[in-house]
Structure formats: structure tokens, C-alpha cells
Structure 1
Amino acid sequence: MTSLVEVARHLPSTEPVAALQEPLGLNDLQLRRFTRLYGLDQICKAPEESETELLLAAARGLDSLRGNEHRVRYVVRGKGLRTTAPYPHSPLQRVRDELGLGHARGFGVADHGCATGLLAIDVCDTLLSADGDPEAMALILTGEKTFTPFTQWVTDVSIMGEGTAAVLVRAGGERDRMLGYASRIYGRADGVIDMNAEVAADARKIYQDVLAEVVLAAVTEAGLELDDIDLLLPHNVNRVSWTVAADNLGIPKRKLFMDNLPRTGHCFCADPFINYRSVVDGGVLRPGDRYLMTSVGLGQTFAAMVFQH
């Protein structure tokens, strides 16, 4: 059973959503929707930092990595996008080398959209369990650079931020143990993921039902009931979708951590881990608490993962 050894994050400076209206081509109605209805206020942006620098800043915050580099077997890039840098640049390989992890196998995991961060933990769970070395660890890197117009926002859903997170995991462990995981993919046969009007309509039809499905499936795999979950750490997409989801699932609003939504924007796969760092640092998450991370990716991929702190 995999556990989180440590989670670190890097949150660049922010820009108000209003300052992004012209660059994103938002009309006044869209601007009001994002700010007044969806609860977005500030978006993490780092125009002077490359993706490599963003990922390194998060990874260098891992105190548990220093002196334990030799224990890291895998460096895994959980990508919300298939391509995050122009060829032949590889932020993953540069980060691996900068951290002194050249001996570790490096690879990327993609195609689950912003749910790929949770998929990366599941992949590392399989690899570390098969290795048989109880001291072995894997480093997962999440978060991305919004370097193309396509990556800067999801039409009428959310605005993307450039916050990053680094997650160090191991097999076994007594703290932050992963208890259950579920994912579902309801992609289109034609492979279209861009949020045009037709795709957006399809997504709206299934979103809440499938989100509830994976949350309940992960909780069941963990051997728990939904009432046993003390805290839900969501992806920071928008306030409306999570208010509706909490009502559908019967989750009290006090169990839904949404504090970072107005401060960061939607930071791809890094959101649940950014939220984890906040609740640990703020003393919200207590020893023994069961918490649930969730995320949804373009292409209609839904995922949920249960941990015990």
C-alpha cells in the first residue's frame, strides 16, 4: 500500500482575473461568470519562469528528498497535457538531472487530463510494490506551463494557473496511506477533448453523475462509507460545480476545502496536492483523518483517491 512521504508545492505570484480579460479574449459576461459565480479571483502566473523552473521550485521544497536521492527509483511526470514543452526540450529530464536523480527511471503519464496526477500515484503504487524494496521511493511532478492559448483556460469552465506540486511516495508507511482509488473514462469515439459546444454539452450531461460514481467507488474500495470521509480535497475548477457535487453526494460544505480556488486558479494535476499542503500547514487535517482527493480531466476522465492521514 502506497503512502505519501511528503508533498511540496510552488505557487508563483498571481494576476487578477480582470487583468486576463483581454489576453484570454473574455467578454464582460464571461468575466462576471468567472469572478462572481465561479469564485475565481487570482490566477497563478509565472511569465518569467519556465516549466522546468516551476517544477524544480516545488521539488526543492521536499525536505525528505535531501539525503535520500539514492532511494528514488522513478521520477514520474503526471501531465494534464500530452505535450508541455516544444521538442526537443524535456522538463522532466532536466528536473531529474538537476535534483541528482539521473539513476532513476524517468517517464511521463498522460491521457487522463487533469486526473493524471492521481493516476501517477496508482502507477507508482504498482511499480514500487513490484520492486519489493521497502525503502524505494518515487517522485511525482505535477503542474504545467500555460504556453499556448489552448492551455490558458477551459471555455466557460475555469482559468488555468501555473502552480506546481511535487509528491514523494513510497510503498508501505504509516502516514497518508492510500486506501482506495477509482477512475472512469467516458471519452468520445472520435477522441475530441477540446471544449467546443458539442463536447461541453456532452460533459455537462454526465459530469455530476460520474463524479459521484468515482467518489463512491473509491470510498467503497477503501472499505469506508462516505460519512467516514473527514475532508474532500478537490480540483480547483469552479465553485458552482463543487457546490452542486457536494449537494448531490450529501457532503456537508464544511468538509469541502475550497480555500485555494480564488487564490490559484485551476493548476492542472497539481490541485489536490496544492490543497493537501494547505490543510496540513493550516492544521485542518488531523492524524487519523480520512480524506479524499478528486480530479476531472478533459476527455471526460474522472478520478478519486482516498487516504488516511
Structure 2
Amino acid sequence: MIPDLGIAHVAFHLPDRVDDVRSWAKRTRQKTATARNLEHAGMRHFRNADGQTATGLAASAIQRLLLASGAAPETVDGLVYVHTLQGSIAPPPQSLPGLLCERFGFANADAFSFAQQHCASALGALRIIRAMFIARPHMERVLLVGADAMPIESERLMQGEGILGDGAFAAFIERGGVANRLLAVATHASGLGWPGVLANNDPRLAAQSFLAARNLIRHTLQQAHRSLDDIQLVLPHHLDLPAWYRLLDSLRIPRIRLFAQNFSRIGHVTVSDAFINLAQCDGLVPGRPLLLFARGVGGFSAAALLCP
């Protein structure tokens, strides 16, 4: 039997330094058209860790989560750490999940990391966490935390889609949760995207990504026996805003349902976009589902349907 799970609390941490696309383009000697294309894609600002590590970013998000939730460390049964960049995980024999457990006193938590779906890993991890709850009836609360910090400024560019920004989120997934109940979660992977958007500008991959997103959204809704009209808000990854509008138009979802305010204000924060948006949603109608979506380098995508 699949247990009822809910995302009871969400918090995030963004570095203090706010960079703008034009300054970054000038600093890294990009072409003039690069900044213009990024602005057309909805990107204007992003967060820069400015030397702060992924461990520090994750710890700041967890600290905010603990303060907001009032949860005691000994009540955390598991910790799943997600990331995209290889530099965002401590090298062996260290363990970043282990370091976080030690720092916050999560003595009872089984901890591991998951990054195989890149920026879609946070939503993809919900499938793993759901399986953990099924296999372990005693489990009541799992901490999902994600963080990334880009070490090389010039590597932030994702073609004309956006900029890789720095930040972290933390969320408690709880058994029997009544807030943000998990109705469905689904993932998609395609080997055709293995070179990634950092090195390949093949328009066929963009078309494939578009169709994959359409199919994945429909499949996720079918799992929960819901329709496109039921969606209250779409919480996207912050890449290529015009493409998001085209996708919504093709599904006949009104554009006003896209939670788009963070594209220009915050930018793309690797694994964290959907959860940052979730933490900032106000005035929601109870019972009408939210669709969270993320796409990762390599042809990965994931979607989750929540009921607030």
C-alpha cells in the first residue's frame, strides 16, 4: 500500500550576492548576443555563492527549515541530499550527507545522496523517498535537501536558456502529511540528451524535450486521475520562459497559471527551483493541485503533483 505523504515544510537559502546577466557576460567575455538571448529567455538576475560552499548553503537551508518547523533532530528518520554539480559533494572518504547529520544531530537518520538526474534529481528523489516509506513502516519523516555552488563563472551558461545560479532548499517529507500531499510523481530519461545543453545546440533535442515535457505532464496527471483543467499552478524550473509559454499553450493551460515571478528575480537555482517556488506560493485554493516540474542536463525530466 502506498502511504499518504506530504511536504509538510519547505525552506530555502539564497546567497546574498545578486548578479545580473549583463555584468556576468561582460566579466566572462561573452558575446553581446549572449546576454540579449538570456534576457529574452527571462533571465536577468542570479545568485552567486561568492565562495560559500554547497555544504554551507545546504546547512543554511536546513537551519531555516528546523526553525520554521520546530522539528527535533531525533525525529528525522532519513536525509536525502540532491545536487547537480560534481563539486557539490564531499570527496571520499567524507560524506556530505553524513557531515550534515553530524552537524545537526540527525542521529537516527539514514543518509545518502542522489544526483543522477541532475536538475531533475530533487523531484526524482520523491520516488525514492516514497519507496523508503513503503519499505519501512516505522519511518515518519525524511529530510530532502539540495544545494549547488558553481565554482567556475564561465561555466554558468546553459546556451540561451538560462544561467546556473547558486542556492539550496530543504523540505520535510512526512507520512500522513496533510499539507502538499503527494498525489503523483513521474520521471523521464532519454539517452539522446547525454551531451547536455552545455555542449550541444541540436534543435532536435529542444523538440524532444518539448514533447517529453508534454507527455510527462499528462502521464503525471493520469496517475492521480486529474485533468489539465484541475491544475491550480505550474511551478517550473527557471529556464527558457518563452518555451514554457509555448508548452502551456500546447496543453491549453492558461499562461496565468505559470508561477513565473522568479525567472528574472532569482533565476535558475539548479535542483532547487520547484521547491523555492513552492515555499513562496501564497493564496492557494485548498484541494486544487500544483504541478512541479524540473528538467536536467542529459535528457532527464521529472514532475510531481501536490495537493495543498
TM-score by length of 1: 0.91
| 1:38 matches 2:41 | yes
1:149/1:93 Cα in 2 relative to 1: closer, same or farther (>3 Å)?
farther
Are 1:74 and 1:104, in contact at CA under 8 Å, matched by a contact in 2?
yes
Q: Which residue matches 1:212?
A: 214
Q: Which residue matches 1:2?
A: 5
- Kindly provide the CA deviation profile for residues 204-224 of structure 1, in whole angstroms up to 9, marking residues without a partner as x: 120111100000100110110
Q: Which residue matches 2:21?
A: 17
Q: Which residue matches 1:277?
A: 279
1:148 positional shift: 3.5
Q: Which residue matches 1:237?
A: 239
List runs of 5+ in structure 1 lacking aligned partners.
none
- CA distance in 1 between counterparts of 2:287 and 2:97 reads 34
Q: Which residue matches 2:294?
A: 295
- CA distance in 2 between counterparts of 1:149 and 1:64 reads 33
| 1:114 matches 2:119 | yes
Q: Which residue matches 1:228?
A: 230
1:67/1:2 Cα in 2 relative to 1: closer, same or farther (>3 Å)?
closer
| 1:29 matches 2:33 | yes
The residue type paired with residue 58 of structure 1 is A
Are 2:83 and 2:119, in contact at CA under 8 Å, matched by a contact in 1?
yes
- Kindly provide the CA deviation profile for residues 222-277 of structure 1, in whole angstroms up to 9, marking residues without a partner as x: 11001011111001112112111111111101110010111112111100000011
Q: Secondary structure at the match of 1:94?
A: helix
- CA distance in 1 between counterparts of 2:95 and 2:121 reads 18
1:233/1:288 Cα in 2 relative to 1: closer, same or farther (>3 Å)?
same
Q: Which residue matches 2:257?
A: 255
1:67/1:239 Cα in 2 relative to 1: closer, same or farther (>3 Å)?
closer
1:167 positional shift: 1.0
| 1:170 matches 2:174 | yes
The number of aligned residues is: 302
Q: Secondary structure at the match of 1:192?
A: coil
1:194 positional shift: 5.2
* Root-mean-square deviation over aligned CA pairs: 2.0
The residue type paired with residue 131 of structure 2 is T
List runs of 5+ in structure 2 lacking aligned partners.
none
| 1:286 matches 2:294 | no
Runs of 4+ aligned residues of structure 1 deviating over 6 Å after TM superposition are none
Q: 1:60 aligns with which of 30, 38, 63?
A: 63
Q: 1:72 aligns with which of 73, 76, 87?
A: 76
**Identity between Structure 1 and Structure 2 (%):** 23
Are 1:81 and 1:111, in contact at CA under 8 Å, matched by a contact in 2?
no
| 1:98 matches 2:103 | yes
1:101/1:269 Cα in 2 relative to 1: closer, same or farther (>3 Å)?
same
1:287 positional shift: 2.3
TM-score by length of 2: 0.91
Are 1:125 and 1:171, in contact at CA under 8 Å, matched by a contact in 2?
no
Q: Secondary structure at the match of 2:148?
A: coil
